[in-house]
């Protein structure tokens, strides 16, 4: 039954699990009383959410004038945060869709949480374009619908509108994909529960039975949705990059933006997955399902995408020089040595230099290094968007309109607040749904469970297996 796997592949499920033990382990976090760590984290997250609500009300009540944006710098932290969150929201679909198509078994340990993270990140991202319009209550104007104003339609030629379609499609498809995977797992929780809890989970599981025909369709669906989501995930950040690339601002008007944004998005998304996974596996005691092998695989993706981003940064500098176009040259000189030089150096050191540490296997397999690196990458990718947006706008064609921008407490509060929103949603998710896809992990048990790969022991020796079991 089990597919052929190279004998030297590391097991993805540790601790000689049975199917029943997998159910027990993965349902447990939803069934036991929340731990003190969860409660503290939840209180902090809700505090962040309250900050967000307050700053949002403050902005809506007093207007965008409470931000430090000015006529030169019309986009600041708002769009920086938007692009940052959307980028983070790319890892989930990459893990669930692209790795499914490539038949990467390690996806099963992390796909559920990564997809959830994607959805919550897109929720956070979506806040900023809406808020930055100023009149939040007219946000529905962005959708084309027959109206009494003409009808006056939206501008389908505008990348900002393409973004509306891209993000809302991405959000919808991610939710459909995620929920489809959750249905059988909700059924597992339902069948272990009684009373009201059973009724709630029956509602959530849509009456799933596990019939062979249903599984067959379910797998067919997963594969097709993955096939659709793969170009979708690439299109989303491509279109986000069009917001800049189709403009005529030096430093924005570049053809390198789409691939560079997509690589950056995957980079930051994986970093956020690492941050969350390292905490989740520890707090929910899932070290046997989210193993060192998973962490190392993700670190390899981080190294690859970080290096792609690095090449893109250098290419931009080279092309600016090589173009012989002084405005372009000035834009990049200004990025590196202009008033926002510190954010450029923050970006370079966090995104390009620090991930190179992952060439070392030892570093890739160190929990502490991975955790610190994941935070670095998140910071670096935030700087990248800030560099692109604020430092470019600060120095436009006319020196008389040059300006500087620094966020007000309201903007900082909004950003910190969306972190609260994100973690509130994530913490609720880990309480109500299995963080690791139960059915999918069971389906790889026989090919990737440690007791089923005896050849591992023969190839590398009993001692090596014991040793590698110690450091997961």
Partner 1 sequence: MVHTEGKSKVLYGLYNDDEVLLKAISEANHRHLDIMDVFTPFPVHGLDPLLGLEESRLHQAGFVYGALGTLTAFLGMSWIFTRDWPIIFGGKPYWSVPAFIPITFELTVLFASIGMVVTFYTICGLRPGVVNENLDDRISDDKFCVAFDTTHASDAEVDELNDFFQATGVEEVNTKWI
Instruction: Give residues in contact with partner 1 (CB under 8 A).
Output: 1, 18-20, 23, 144, 150-153, 155-159, 161-162, 165-166, 168-169, 172-173, 176-177, 180, 183-184, 187-188, 190-192, 202-204, 206-221, 224-225, 228-229, 231-232, 235, 239, 242, 439-440, 442-443, 446
Q: Residue 293 contacts by C-beta under 8 Å, 6 or more apart in sequence?
A: 10, 11, 12, 106, 472
Q: How far is the CB of 439 from partner 1 (least distance, A)?
A: 4
Task: Classify burial at 215, counting beta carbons within 10 Å of its beta carbon; exposed 0-12, middle 13-18, buried 19 or more.
Answer: middle
Tell me which long-range contacts 335-343 makes (C-beta under 8 A, separation of at least 24). Answer: 335/251, 335/387, 335/391, 335/392, 338/391, 338/394, 338/395, 339/391, 339/394, 339/395, 339/404, 340/386, 340/387, 340/390, 340/391, 340/394, 343/383, 343/386, 343/387, 343/390, 343/391
CB of 35 to partner 1, least distance (A): 24
The 8-class DSSP code of residue 449 comes to B
Spell out the residues 6+ positions from residue 88 whose beta carbon is closer than 8 angstroms to its own. 117, 118, 121, 125, 265, 268, 269, 272, 378
Q: 224 or 464: whose CB is closer to partner 1? A: 224
**By C-beta, is 259 or 339 nearer to partner 1?**
259
CB of 193 to partner 1, least distance (A): 10
Residue 25 CB, nearest approach to partner 1 (Å): 12
**In whole angstroms, how close is the CB of 248 to partner 1 at the nearest point?**
10
**DSSP tag of 7:** T
Nearer to partner 1, 161 or 460 (CB): 161
How far apart (Å, rounded) are the C-alpha atoms in residues 407 and 83?
Answer: 17
Q: Which is nearer to partner 1, 202 or 315 (CB)?
A: 202
Smallest gap from Cβ 241 to partner 1, in A, equals 12
Cβ atoms 206, 190 nearer than 8 A: no
Q: Which is nearer to partner 1, 156 or 368 (CB)?
A: 156
When the beta carbons of 185 and 316 are compared against partner 1, the nearer one is: 185
Q: How far is the CB of 220 from partner 1 (least distance, A)?
A: 4
DSSP 82-132: HHHHHHHTTHHHIIIIIHHHTT-TTHHHHHHHHHHHHHHHHHHHHHHHHHH
Q: Output 202 or 408, the one with its CB closest to partner 1.
A: 202
Smallest gap, in angstroms, from Cβ of residue 196 to partner 1? 14
Between 188 and 366, whose beta carbon lies closer to partner 1?
A: 188
Which residue, 72 or 235, is less far from partner 1 as judged by CB?
235
Q: Which residues pair with 128 in a beta bridge?
A: none
Helix 257-283, helix 107-132: angle, nearest 10: 120
Cβ 301 vs Cβ 277: under 8 Å: no
Containing 324, the helix (H) or strand (E) segment is none
- Residue 123: CB minimum distance to partner 1, A: 18
Closest approach of Cβ 213 to partner 1, in Å?
Answer: 6
Q: Which of 139, 138, 141 is nearest to 154 (CA)?
A: 141
Residue 219 or 458: the one with the smaller Cβ distance to partner 1 is 219
Q: Which residues pair with 449 in a beta bridge?
A: 13
Phi first, then psi: give them for residue 449, nearest 5 degrees. -75, 145
Query: In sequence order, what are the residues at sequence separation of 6 or more whose Cβ sits closer than 8 angstroms to the Cβ of residue 357?
Result: 363, 369, 373
Partnered with residue 13 across adjacent β-strands are 449
CB of 209 to partner 1, least distance (A): 5
Nearer Cβ to partner 1 (179/327): 179
């Amino acid at each position: 039954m089990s597919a052929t796997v190279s004998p030297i592949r590391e097991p993805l499920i540790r601790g000689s699990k049975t199917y029943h033990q997998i159910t027990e382990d993965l349902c447990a976090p939803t069934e036991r009383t929340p731990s003190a760590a969860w409660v503290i984290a939840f209180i902090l997250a809700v505090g962040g959410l309250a900050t967000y609500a307050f700053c949002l009300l403050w902005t809506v009540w007093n207007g965008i004038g409470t931000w430090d944006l000015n006529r030169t710098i019309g986009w600041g932290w708002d769009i920086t945060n938007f692009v940052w969150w959307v980028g983070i929201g790319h890892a989930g679909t990459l893990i669930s869709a692209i790795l499914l198509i490539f038949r990467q078994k390690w996806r099963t340990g992390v796909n559920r949480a990564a997809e959830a993270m994607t959805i919550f990140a897109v929720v956070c991202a979506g806040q900023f374009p809406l808020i930055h319009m100023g009149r939040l209550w007219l946000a529905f104007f962005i959708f084309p619908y027959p109206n009494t104003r003409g009808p006056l339609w939206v501008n389908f030629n505008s990348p900002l509108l393409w973004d509306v379609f891209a993000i809302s499609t991405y959000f919808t498809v991610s939710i459909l994909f995620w929920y489809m995977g959750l249905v059988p797992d909700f059924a597992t929780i339902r069948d272990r529960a009684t009373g009201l809890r059973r009724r709630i989970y029956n509602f959530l599981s849509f009456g799933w039975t596990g019939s062979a025909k249903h599984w067959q369709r379910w797998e067919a669906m997963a594969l097709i949705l993955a096939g659709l989501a793969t170009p979708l995930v690439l299109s989303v950040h491509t279109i986000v990059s069009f917001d800049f690339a189709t403009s005529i601002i030096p430093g924005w008007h570049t053809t390198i933006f789409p691939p560079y944004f997509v690589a950056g998005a995957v980079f930051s998304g994986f970093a956020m997955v690492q941050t969350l996974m390292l905490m989740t596996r520890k707090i929910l005691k899932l070290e046997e399902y989210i193993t060192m092998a998973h962490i190392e695989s993700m670190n390899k993706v981080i190294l690859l995408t970080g290096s792609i981003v690095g090449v893109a940064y250098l290419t931009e500098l080279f092309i600016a020089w090589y173009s012989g176009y002084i405005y372009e040259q000035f834009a990049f000189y200004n990025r590196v040595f202009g008033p926002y030089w510190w954010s450029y150096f923050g970006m370079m050191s966090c995104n390009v230099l620090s991930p190179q540490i992952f060439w070392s296997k030892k570093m890739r397999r160190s929990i502490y290094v991975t955790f610190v690196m994941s935070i670095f990458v998140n910071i670096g990718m935030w700087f990248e968007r800030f560099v692109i947006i604020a430092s470019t706008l600060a120095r436009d064609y006319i020196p008389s309109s040059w300006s500087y921008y620094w966020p007000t407490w309201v903007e900082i509060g909004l950003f910190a607040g969306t972190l609260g929103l994100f973690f509130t949603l994530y913490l609720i998710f880990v309480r109500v749904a299995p963080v690791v896809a139960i059915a999918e992990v069971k389906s790889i048990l026989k090919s990737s469970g440690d007791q089923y790969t005896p050849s591992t022991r023969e190839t590398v020796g009993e001692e090596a297996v014991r040793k590698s079991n110690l450091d997961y």
